[in-house]
Chain A
Amino acid sequence: MSSKPPIISIEGVTKRFGDHAAVDDVSLTINEGEFFALLGPSGCGKTTLLRMLAGFETPTEGTIRIDGKDTDGVPPNRRPVNMVFQSYAVFPHMSVADNVAYGLKIDGVAKAERDRRVEEALALVQLEGFGGRMPDQMSGGQRQRVALARALAKRPRVLLLDEPLSALDAKLREAMRFELASLQHKVGITFVMVTHDQDEALALATRCAVMERGRLIQLATPSDLYEFPNSRFVADFIGTVNMVEGTLKTDNPTEAIIATKELGDVYIDHAVLGNEGATLYLALRPEKISLFRRDGVVPPKLEDCPEGYNVVAGVIDHIAYLGSESVFKVILTNGRQMLVIRPNLTRWDQEDFVEEQPVWLSWHACAPAVLAG
């Protein structure tokens, strides 16, 4: 992509608390202007990694470079990054304007220029005219925006956000999600955001790092994380998935067959490049499976289910109608449960598929992600 050096480069960073490694040998780079998300379950070390970027924790091992400069020994107040805290950390004894002006005063920005930049920052987060209020007169979402404005007013090279939306209710969170995205577009500052909400990460980030127990598991764009997970952990953590265990039966340059107990032989239209007999996992997303009525014993018509598709038989056990789509719990003849998602494309779509209806499940040979571990 660009030839610019990365704004943040994390090289072999480990952070130990006692003998527990909260962050374990993580290496990654973040490019200028990116919206980078750190994603992972609770306790996986996301906050710790972010706090090392801000300077509140020192790596036990490894190097962190910001803007090409080694940050070793550089205190938080000397780093070109600013943080939006999970608890917002808006100073309760200062007005909103004073909160936003706090960092500018320290930088020695003259009063007139300061006032201008405070106004500008408040406008950016749509809080014009709120400068005179005290924080306890603001709602949670507004306080969160004060924290954003306060950090943005400093015009940092990188903005660090620790679960910025987690304290908001679902509706507000959704709204703020869009605001954050458009804000990042407007200011062009690199955002590094910690979240354990995968929807948030997928919706906002240009790239995501998925962490588990201190380790970096996968670093990819949101769509690659979803469509090409590199492990069962990522496939399971991002979205819902039908996970099936099998062994590699045939492996050719153009196709492979994986024998499974639950789905029989599954055809894959690409090489798997594994040892025959090796244990593999198929991660099959629910929306990649098609449903067909199974009124006789014959498989679906050929034009409905073209060459290269896999087919198994089952019975609809339960339907969750979600409006735009329906989620089907299907029990296969061998007892295995599969999730299928089907968009409700017409207004009478759901009539064909009711509970107890025997169905064929079918998916394309390229649909499952084949995972080694």
Chain B
Amino acid sequence: MSGENWRQERKTLLATLGPPLFWLTLFFLVPLAVVWAYSFGRNVGLTEIEISGTFANYAQAIQPLYLGIFFKSIVMAAACTVICLVAGFPVALAITFAPDKVKAWLLLAVMLPFWTNLLIRTYALIAVLRDEGYINLTLGWIWKQVGLVLNVPPFVPLEMLHNNPAVLFGLVYVHLPFMVLPLYAALDRLDRSLIEASLDLGAGHFRTMMQVVVPLALPGILSGVLITFIPALGAYLTPDLLGGPDSQMIANVIERQFKRANDWPFGAALSFLLLYLTFVMVAVQALIQRRRGAR
């Protein structure tokens, strides 16, 4: 069907596009605009906000304290992305080259966490990592067996919860599928005969990987990185539940402004700084893709 036809059929167009457009406007754009307006306002009274056009909230948001938290969030999200990439690439590769029957199951295994509530997954992680969790129970049992033969001090549970590594672990756990799926999509599209040609010309598997597979999968790698980094940057539940007092990320700070601190204008300003950061990254990615495409 050509675009001309669609344009002529105004009514059909309106009927199909209308409801989602209406929905998006009412429940996404309007609230977003409201929050955006709040970011230029100030609190007058407990529930009243005056939109005064002030930049004070943004000025406060770029104070060292908050910049530090921004920076920390970026570092955590970046570390999470790198780990996801390093761990996800072999997984995506394995899925790509698995026999068709196995492939479907492997993909399902990657997708399954998506369909489980984040809260449940995070609590499950706590059950694994806490002092009386499954890892410590197992280690303790092994320690006890060793203790039967050797003279060892009593077992002290490993502290694996409420610290930065726990948050990072949680972030990786939650975001790995975001990385694996675009990587898989890119690798699956790759013409197998290119890999065979590389082998045929004398390259080993490692060389083929670095000089043929990775460069050709680069668009997929880029979108995987972006798709992982952006939600990791705004992670809220994971640092909240798995982190310690020094593990808070920017989303936790924002949440506090809207709730306990009751400073909506400042929370709004922080939110929008985060949003701008995201826009910049998406723009950079689009630019890189365009450059590659133009070549």
Q: Do A and B bind each other?
A: yes
Which B255-295 residues have a C-beta within 8 angstroms of A? Answer: 295
> CB distance A93 to B215 under 8 Å?
yes
Query: In the bound complex, how far is the Cα of B128 from the Cα of A267, in angstroms?
Result: 91
> CB distance A77 to B200 under 8 Å?
yes
> CB distance B199 to A76 under 8 Å?
yes
Interface string of B184-211 (1 = CB under 8 A from A): 0000000101101111111110010001
Q: Contacts of A86 on B, CB cut-off 8 Å?
A: 193
B212 at the A interface (CB under 8 A) = yes
Partner of B200, one of A82, A87, A92, A107: A82
Q: Do most interface residues of chain B lie in helix, strand or loop, or is the interface mixed?
A: helix
Q: Please give the distance in Å from A93's CB to the nearest CB on chain B.
A: 5
Query: In the bound complex, how far is the Cα of B203 from the Cα of A82, in angstroms?
Result: 12
> CB distance A87 to B191 under 8 Å?
yes
Which A8-67 residues have a C-beta within 8 angstroms of B? Answer: 54-56
Interface size on B, residues (CB 8 A): 18
> CB distance A106 to B193 under 8 Å?
no
B79 at the A interface (CB under 8 A) = no
Which B82-105 residues have a C-beta within 8 angstroms of A? Answer: none
When C-beta atoms are compared, the residue in chain A nearest to B212 turns out to be A91
A102 at the B interface (CB under 8 A) = yes
> CB distance A93 to B216 under 8 Å?
yes
Query: In the bound complex, how far is the Cα of B103 from the Cα of A278, in angstroms?
Result: 55
Q: Contacts of B207 on A, CB cut-off 8 Å?
A: 106
Q: Contacts of A78 on B, CB cut-off 8 Å?
A: 202
Which A156-182 residues have a C-beta within 8 angstroms of B? Answer: none
Query: In the bound complex, how far is the Cα of B196 from the Cα of A151, in angstroms?
Result: 13
> CB distance B196 to A154 under 8 Å?
no
> CB distance B193 to A87 under 8 Å?
yes
Q: Please give the distance in Å from A85's CB to the nearest CB on chain B.
A: 5
When C-beta atoms are compared, the residue in chain B nearest to A93 turns out to be B215
Query: In the bound complex, how far is the Cα of B201 from the Cα of A55, in angstroms?
Result: 12
> CB distance A106 to B202 under 8 Å?
yes
Q: Contacts of A76 on B, CB cut-off 8 Å?
A: 196, 199-200
Q: Please give the distance in Å from B190's CB to the nearest CB on chain A.
A: 10
Q: Which residue, of B201, B212, B215, has the highest number of chain A Cβ atoms within 10 A?
A: B201
> CB distance A83 to B202 under 8 Å?
no
> CB distance A89 to B199 under 8 Å?
no
Query: In the bound complex, how far is the Cα of B295 from the Cα of A134, in angstroms?
Result: 8
A150 at the B interface (CB under 8 A) = yes
Given contacts A56-B196, A85-B196, contact A77 B191 (CB under 8 A): no
A75 at the B interface (CB under 8 A) = yes
Given contacts A89-B194, A91-B194, A134-B295, contact A83 B215 (CB under 8 A): no
Which A105-129 residues have a C-beta within 8 angstroms of B? Answer: 106-107
Query: In the bound complex, how far is the Cα of B200 from the Cα of A54, in angstroms?
Result: 7
When C-beta atoms are compared, the residue in chain B nearest to A76 turns out to be B199
Q: Please give the distance in Å from A174's CB to the nearest CB on chain B.
A: 25
Q: Contacts of A154 on B, CB cut-off 8 Å?
A: 201-202
Query: In the bound complex, how far is the Cα of B215 from the Cα of A282, in angstroms?
Result: 59
Query: In the bound complex, how far is the Cα of B197 from the Cα of A107, in angstroms?
Result: 15
Given contacts A93-B215, A106-B207, contact A77 B197 (CB under 8 A): no
Given contacts A93-B215, A93-B216, A106-B207, contact A83 B191 (CB under 8 A): no
Query: In the bound complex, how far is the Cα of B197 from the Cα of A151, in angstroms?
Result: 9
Q: Contacts of A134 on B, CB cut-off 8 Å?
A: 295
Query: In the bound complex, how far is the Cα of B277 from the Cα of A60, in angstroms?
Result: 57
A299 at the B interface (CB under 8 A) = no
Partner of B197, one of A55, A75, A85, A106: A85
> CB distance B196 to A77 under 8 Å?
no
Query: In the bound complex, how far is the Cα of B198 from the Cα of A91, in angstroms?
Result: 9
> CB distance B201 to A82 under 8 Å?
yes
Query: In the bound complex, how far is the Cα of B202 from the Cα of A103, in angstroms?
Result: 6
Q: Contacts of B201 on A, CB cut-off 8 Å?
A: 77, 82, 102-103, 106, 150-151, 154
Q: Please give the distance in Å from B78's CB to the nearest CB on chain A.
A: 26
When C-beta atoms are compared, the residue in chain A nearest to B194 turns out to be A89
Query: In the bound complex, how far is the Cα of B202 from the Cα of A68, in angstroms?
Result: 20
Q: Contacts of B193 on A, CB cut-off 8 Å?
A: 85-87, 89
> CB distance A83 to B194 under 8 Å?
no
Q: Contacts of B216 on A, CB cut-off 8 Å?
A: 92-93
Given contacts A89-B193, A91-B212, contact A83 B295 (CB under 8 A): no
Query: In the bound complex, how far is the Cα of B67 from the Cα of A161, in angstroms?
Result: 61
Q: Contacts of B212 on A, CB cut-off 8 Å?
A: 91
> CB distance B194 to A77 under 8 Å?
no
When C-beta atoms are compared, the residue in chain A nearest to B199 turns out to be A76
> CB distance B199 to A77 under 8 Å?
yes
Given contacts A85-B193, A92-B216, contact A77 B295 (CB under 8 A): no
Q: Please give the distance in Å from A17's CB to the nearest CB on chain B.
A: 12
> CB distance A106 to B194 under 8 Å?
no
> CB distance A77 to B204 under 8 Å?
yes
Q: Please give the distance in Å from B220's CB to the nearest CB on chain A.
A: 14
Q: Contacts of A89 on B, CB cut-off 8 Å?
A: 191, 193-194, 196-197
A-B residue pairs in contact (CB < 8 Å), sample of 29: A54-B200, A55-B199, A55-B200, A76-B200, A77-B201, A77-B202, A77-B203, A78-B202, A83-B196, A83-B197, A85-B193, A85-B196, A89-B197, A91-B194, A91-B197, A91-B198, A92-B194, A92-B216, A93-B216, A102-B198, A102-B201, A102-B203, A103-B201, A103-B202, A106-B201, A106-B202, A106-B207, A151-B200, A151-B201
18 other contacts beyond A54-B200, A82-B201, with CB at 8 A cut-off?
A75-B199, A76-B196, A77-B201, A77-B202, A77-B203, A83-B196, A83-B197, A89-B191, A89-B194, A90-B197, A91-B194, A91-B198, A93-B215, A93-B216, A102-B211, A103-B202, A147-B197, A154-B201
Which of B's residues lie within 8 Å of A, judged by CB?
191, 193-194, 196-204, 207, 211-212, 215-216, 295
Q: Which 8 A-B pairs have the closest CB atoms?
A: A103-B201, A89-B197, A89-B193, A106-B202, A76-B199, A85-B193, A77-B202, A93-B215
